[in-house]
Amino acid sequence: MKVNYYPETDSLYIDLSERPSAESREVSEGVVLDYDAAGNLVGIDIDNAKTKVQLDRLILSRLPSLIERVAG
């Protein structure tokens, strides 16, 4: 899973899988869910993220995976 914030467009993309998106559905204004060809959720796109998401803090708890930080 990857979480990317793009300040130039104030958008946040949560990449849940490496599978490509085949379909997208806007579930509320500026929030789009991406699905693969089998109908599995693979990503979440949030426009105007600063007004919808608390971006100043990220807490990861009990994830059974490697956590990497990429400076950006």
Instruction: Give domain status of residue 70, yes or no.
Output: no
Domains held by the chain: number: 1
Adjacent-strand bridge partners of 32: 26, 45
Q: Give the domain extent around 31.
A: 2-52
Instruction: Give domain status of residue 62, yes or no.
Output: no
Tokens of 49: 């993220």
52 backbone dihedrals φ, ψ, rounded to 5°: -120, -20
Q: What is the per-residue pLDDT for 17?
A: 96
Return the percentage of the chain with pLDDT > 70, whole number. Answer: 99
Instruction: Give domain status of residue 59, yes or no.
Output: no
Measuring CA to CA, which residue among 65, 20, 22, 28 is closest to residue 45?
Answer: 28
pLDDT band at 72 (very low <50, low <70, confident <90, very high): low
pLDDT tens digits along 12-42: 999 999 999 999 999 999 999 999 999 999 9
